[in-house]
């Protein structure tokens, strides 16, 4: 290769000195351009926005095209992982033939002393879809050998490891494309992987490079690594282990942390929580102030290839443990960190990673489920393992359990996980899994999906060893049931999403009512209710009939539910959105059932009618208690005010004669029925609520005694005087006169009583004080 071509190649790269400014530029959402001011109008017509005006030029900005923004994101992530040399721009090209004029454009090129990355980026601005990358993959694969030859000429003094990567956003791969990538030894990174390393660099800085290389070169040799160390061999819990002390830098190179996220889904089951920057910083400061941790880091050496233990001489014959020299594998990702990731990575950016040694307990070839158990045992007694992480772990840990109930639990959790991770699912990226944080888009918990499935009839009921009640989709084992149920759930959620697209999209901004936890759980339960109904009435068999056939039947019942949701008022939506707690979530589900029942009366799930009968009376007890409280306070307060104004003659002077006569007569009639004189009642004890209204309106009572306290807040200026201002007593009297055992207090009436109770009871107490 000519010196001229070499010079041209290296001039198209950006290196250490100017890397920071290039990263800063690439991480911006906009592209910028300075133009002569006379071109302002032309640029604005092309979508550019004025940023700043100068004397001679104008600075314009424009949102980056989606594909360029993705390329810049990938470029920035790789740069932040510590690669010292990258391509300057999109015009970068590499020769792939002896004819050096034949070149291939490269989106991202990155290199350092050990590694070269060649990355092709593909991004779709639309919602996630299946990609067709046959041409792209075969083009890379076909030119790969030529590119490798060119790189050897460009870097003759070194032997860097070269990796080809296809990076995608909003695409999922077809099986043929996955096979093509495998055949050409090309790595695929989707947006989850890019996001993972983007987040990891924020926490670890360039130390995230250890994790990155561990994944990129898993199982590949690290020839320069010194892998010989003194160790003790022992047995614990039926497992062989080695105890030794090692420099952190060596363990960082061979170690890999099985973080619980989509970037590591191929290594499932995974179990580790994401590293926290705050803990890492404090550990590094502690280490650099000559602090140390005497407790061991726990790892699993996941291969016996090249693992050797040479016994030392002499040994202690009576001891179970043996002393010797351990030769651990010189490979990337040959040790999984079970416990102690923060202690280990606390050394990553410190010179003490070469100067200190840290204690390690290393198991060998532990099954992944045993690693998960060990992780949970260690962490149960330390920092609490979140419910979402426990669910995620149990989906793997219990899937092949001997206990049938545990296997079914794992199946439900796997369904939750797949709904959140399957790109074809409408809930893709919306479910909090493992260590995912909650945000406006990702707000549905895996526990919600599990509860919806628990309360469905898809699986049935089980004891430890047998099926107690068969479920509508259960086929006798987890794999077959999963394969049957997942397409059904995904297609039903797709149908709801497409029909309620505007409402569904509101959920991405933290709004809306169809992608909240109560809604998702309720939808799952309604799907199950409909399946149970069509099994009974139409002879449908979910275990044998196609998903398409099931959907035809189910959609007929989903349609009125969808219409109901579309026609909800703002107030009704607000009420549904407040559906927290098990009781209110159940109400959301029953409301959806009712929407279907009103249009399809034959749909009458078990417990449906009883729920609404009970619901109709649920306000009664509290309502009549509030009425008794209000009456007690009215009776006391009215008497005190009348007495303070009229003195001893308050009954005669302050009460309308007609009311006096009614009260006296009513008391006399009541007392005739009472034998014990001490139990006899006074006329004042015989008041009805409507009597208070008559007393309040009598003479000047309203103006002198009652107007201030007994005008409802907000009605001070209404027209109609005391007649209008005391109408609330009329409504209260109506509710009071209903039969507690036969009447159902309406929700609006209940709200009215709550309002009165808060106003009158609290108001009277405050006035007394």
Q: How many angstroms separate the CA atoms of 486 and 480, rounded?
A: 10
pLDDT above 70 as % of the chain: 91
- Evaluate if residue 651 carries a pLDDT over 90: yes
Handedness of CA 438, 441, 446, 452 (dihedral sign): positive
For β-strands 161-169 and 228-236, DSSP reports them as unpaired
Tokens read off for 208? 């995230």
The pLDDT value recorded for residue 561 is: 96
Q: How many angstroms separate the CA atoms of 512 and 516, rounded?
A: 8
Pick from 247, 281, 256, 435: nearest CA to 351: 247
- Please provide the size of the chain in residues: 769
- Evaluate if residue 741 carries a pLDDT over 70: no
> Degrees (nearest 5) of the Cα angle 293, 82, 198?
85
If pLDDT is split at 50, 70 and 90, which confidence band does 257 have? confident
Pick from 243, 246, 227, 247: nearest CA to 322: 243
DSSP code per residue over 330-344: -BTT-EEEEE-HHHH
Q: How many angstroms separate the CA atoms of 326 and 457, rounded?
A: 54
Long-range CB contact pairs, 349-354, < 8 A, 24+: 349/204, 349/205, 349/206, 349/207, 349/284, 350/284, 350/287, 350/288, 352/248, 352/287, 352/288, 353/247, 353/248, 353/249, 353/252, 354/247, 354/249
Across 588-686, the runs of DSSP E, i.e. the strands, are: none
Q: How many angstroms separate the CA atoms of 748 and 750, rounded?
A: 5
State phi, psi for 382 to the nearest 5 degrees.
Answer: -120, -120
Write down the H helix ranges in 62-133: 66-80
Per residue in 664-696, pLDDT (tens digit) is 999 999 999 988 888 999 999 999 999 999 999
Q: How many angstroms separate the CA atoms of 580 and 443, rounded?
A: 14
Q: How many angstroms separate the CA atoms of 61 and 51, rounded?
A: 6
Residues 6+ away with beta carbon under 8 Å from 547: 487, 488, 491
- Evaluate if residue 570 carries a pLDDT over 90: no
- Evaluate if residue 220 carries a pLDDT over 70: yes
Pick from 297, 445, 280: nearest CA to 360: 297
If pLDDT is split at 50, 70 and 90, which confidence band does 574 have? confident
The pLDDT value recorded for residue 345 is: 83
Tokens read off for 702? 């309203």
Mean pLDDT of 189-212: 85
Mean pLDDT of 383-397: 66
The pLDDT value recorded for residue 6 is: 84
C-beta of residue 397 within 8 angstroms of C-beta of residue 369: yes
- Evaluate if residue 765 carries a pLDDT over 50: no
Query: Which whole-number Å values give the CA distances from 601 to 531, 593, 612, in the listed order?
Result: 16, 11, 15
Long-range CB contact pairs, 3-12, < 8 A, 24+: 5/95, 5/100, 6/154, 9/94, 9/154, 12/87, 12/88, 12/89, 12/91, 12/92, 12/93
The pLDDT value recorded for residue 740 is: 63
C-beta of residue 434 within 8 angstroms of C-beta of residue 394: no
Per residue in 51-94, pLDDT (tens digit) is 898 888 999 999 999 999 999 999 999 999 989 899 999 899 99
Per residue in 744-757, pLDDT (tens digit) is 787 788 889 988 98
C-beta of residue 472 within 8 angstroms of C-beta of residue 528: yes
Per residue in 522-534, pLDDT (tens digit) is 999 999 999 999 9
Mean pLDDT of 17-36: 89
The pLDDT value recorded for residue 768 is: 47
| C-alpha neighbours within 13 Å on the C-beta side of residue 344 | 31
- The DSSP 8-state label assigned to residue 359 in this structure reads E
C-beta of residue 513 within 8 angstroms of C-beta of residue 503: yes
Pick the residue with more confidence: 402 or 261?
402
Q: How many angstroms separate the CA atoms of 454 and 444, rounded?
A: 16
C-beta of residue 190 within 8 angstroms of C-beta of residue 143: no
Q: Which helix (H) or strand (E) holds 255?
A: strand 255-256
For β-strands 239-246 and 358-364, DSSP reports them as antiparallel
If pLDDT is split at 50, 70 and 90, which confidence band does 270 have? low
Query: Which whole-number Å values give the CA distances from 306 to 227, 309, 449, in the listed order?
Result: 10, 10, 44
Number of Cβ within a 10 Å radius of residue 588 = 23
Give me the chain's average pLDDT, please: 87
If pLDDT is split at 50, 70 and 90, which confidence band does 259 have? low
| C-alpha neighbours within 13 Å on the C-beta side of residue 667 | 16
| Residue whose structure tokens are 């410190």 | 350
Tokens read off for 742? 């036969």
| Residue whose structure tokens are 């009576």 | 318
Per residue in 326-360, pLDDT (tens digit) is 999 888 888 888 888 888 888 887 888 899 999 99
| C-alpha neighbours within 13 Å on the C-beta side of residue 267 | 23
The pLDDT value recorded for residue 380 is: 60
The pLDDT value recorded for residue 685 is: 93
- Evaluate if residue 227 carries a pLDDT over 50: yes
27-64: b (≥16 Cβ within 10 Å) or e: eeeebeeeeeeeeeeebeeeebeeeeeeeeebebbeeb
Q: How many angstroms separate the CA atoms of 274 and 383, rounded?
A: 13
Residues 6+ away with beta carbon under 8 Å from 195: 263
pLDDT above 90 as % of the chain: 51
Handedness of CA 626, 630, 636, 640 (dihedral sign): positive
Tokens read off for 640? 């005190």
State phi, psi for 55 to the nearest 5 degrees.
Answer: -65, -45
The pLDDT value recorded for residue 767 is: 46
Pick from 110, 105, 107: nearest CA to 79: 110
For the chain, what is the radius of gyration of the CA atoms? Answer: 37
- The DSSP 8-state label assigned to residue 272 in this structure reads B
- Evaluate if residue 22 carries a pLDDT over 60: yes
- Evaluate if residue 163 carries a pLDDT over 90: yes
Q: How many angstroms separate the CA atoms of 747 and 751, rounded?
A: 6
The pLDDT value recorded for residue 279 is: 64
For β-strands 85-87 and 103-105, DSSP reports them as unpaired
| C-alpha neighbours within 13 Å on the C-beta side of residue 340 | 23
Tokens read off for 688? 């009805």
Number of Cβ within a 10 Å radius of residue 441 = 13
Beta bridge partners of 115: 161
657 preceded by cis ω (within 30°)? Answer: no
Query: Which whole-number Å values give the CA distances from 717 to 11, 699, 721, 732, in the listed order?
Result: 81, 21, 9, 21
């Amino acid at each position: 290769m000519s010196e001229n071509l070499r010079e041209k190649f290296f001039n198209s790269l950006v290196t250490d000195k100017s890397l920071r400014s290039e990263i800063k530029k690439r991480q911006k959402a906009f592209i910028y351009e300075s133009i002569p001011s006379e071109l302002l109008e032309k640029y604005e017509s092309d979508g550019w926005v004025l940023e700043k005006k100068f004397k001679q030029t104008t600075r314009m900005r424009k949102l980056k095209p989606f594909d360029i923004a993705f390329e810049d994101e990938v470029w920035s992530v790789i740069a932040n992982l510590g690669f010292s040399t990258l391509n300057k721009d999109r015009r970068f090209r590499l020769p792939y033939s002896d004819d050096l004029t034949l070149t291939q454009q490269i989106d991202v090129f990155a290199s350092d002393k050990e590694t070269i990355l060649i990355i092709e980026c593909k991004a779709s601005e639309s919602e996630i879809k299946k990609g067709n990358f046959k041409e792209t993959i075969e083009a890379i694969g076909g030119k790969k050998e030529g590119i490798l030859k060119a790189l050897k000429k460009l870097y003759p003094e070194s032997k860097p490891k070269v990796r080809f990567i296809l990076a995608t956003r909003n695409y999922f791969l077809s099986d043929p494309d996955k096979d093509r990538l495998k055949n050409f030894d090309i790595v695929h990174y989707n947006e989850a992987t890019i996001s993972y390393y983007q987040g990891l660099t924020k926490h670890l800085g360039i130390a995230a490079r250890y994790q990155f290389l561990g994944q990129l070169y898993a199982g590949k040799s690290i020839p320069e690594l010194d892998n010989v160390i003194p160790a003790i061999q022992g047995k614990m819990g039926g497992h062989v282990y080695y105890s030794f002390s090692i420099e952190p830098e060596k363990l960082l190179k061979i170690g890999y942390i099985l973080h619980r996220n989509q970037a590591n889904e191929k290594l499932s089951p995974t179990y580790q929580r994401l590293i926290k920057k705050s803990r890492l910083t404090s550990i590094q400061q502690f280490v650099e102030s000559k602090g140390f941790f005497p407790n061991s880091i726990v790892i699993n050496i996941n291969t016996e290839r090249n693992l050797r233990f040479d016994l030392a001489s002499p040994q202690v014959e009576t001891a179970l443990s043996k002393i010797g020299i351990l030769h651990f594998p010189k490979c990337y990702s040959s040790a999984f960190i079970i416990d102690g990731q923060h202690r280990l990575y606390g050394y990553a950016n410190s010179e003490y990673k070469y100067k200190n040694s840290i204690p390690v307990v290393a198991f060998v070839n532990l099954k992944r489920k045993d690693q998960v158990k060990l992780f949970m045992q260690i962490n149960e007694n330390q920092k609490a393992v979140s419910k979402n992480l426990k669910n995620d772990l149990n989906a793997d840990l219990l899937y092949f359990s001997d206990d049938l109930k545990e296997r079914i639990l794992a199946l439900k959790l796997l369904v939750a996980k797949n709904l959140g991770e399957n790109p074809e699912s409408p809930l893709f990226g919306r479910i909090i899994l493992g260590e995912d944080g909650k945000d406006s888009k990702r707000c549905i918990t895996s526990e919600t999906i599990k509860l919806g499935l628990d309360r469905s009839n898809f699986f049935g009921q089980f004891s430890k060893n047998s099926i107690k009640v068969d479920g509508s989709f259960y086929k006798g084992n987890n794999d077959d049931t999963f394969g049957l149920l997942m397409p059904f759930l995904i297609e039903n959620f797709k149908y709801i999403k497409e029909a309620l697209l505007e409402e569904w999209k509101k959920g991405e901004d933290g709004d809306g009512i169809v992608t909240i936890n109560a809604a998702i759980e309720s939808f799952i339960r309604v799907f199950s209710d409909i399946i149970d109904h069509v099994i009974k009435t139409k002879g449908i068999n979910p275990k044998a009939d196609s998903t398409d056939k099931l959907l035809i039947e189910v959609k007929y019942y989903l349609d009125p539910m969808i219409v109901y949701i579309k026609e909800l008022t703002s107030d009704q939506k607000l009420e549904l959105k407040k559906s927290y707690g098990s009781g209110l979530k159940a109400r959301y589900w029953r409301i959806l059932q009712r929407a279907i029942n009103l249009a399809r009366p034959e749909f009458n799930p078990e417990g449906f009618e009883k729920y609404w009968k009970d619901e109709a009376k649920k306000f009664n007890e509290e309502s009549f208690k509030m009425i008794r409280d209000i009456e007690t306070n009215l009776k006391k307060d009215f008497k005190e005010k009348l007495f303070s104004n009229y003195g001893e003659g308050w009954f005669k002077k302050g009460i309308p004669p007609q009311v006096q006569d009614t009260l006296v007569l009513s008391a006399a009639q009541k007392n005739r029925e009472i034998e014990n004189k001490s139990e006899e009642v006074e006329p004042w004890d015989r008041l009805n609520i409507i009597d208070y209204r008559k007393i309040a309106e009598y003479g000047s009572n309203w103006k002198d005694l009652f107007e201030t306290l007994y005008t409802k807040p907000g009605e001070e200026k209404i027209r109609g005087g005391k007649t209008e201002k005391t109408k609330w007593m009329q409504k209260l009297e109506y509710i009071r006169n209903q039969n507690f055992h036969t009447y159902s207090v309406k929700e609006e009436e209940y709200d009215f009583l709550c309002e009165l109770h808060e106003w009158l009871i609290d108001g009277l107490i405050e006035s007394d004080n």
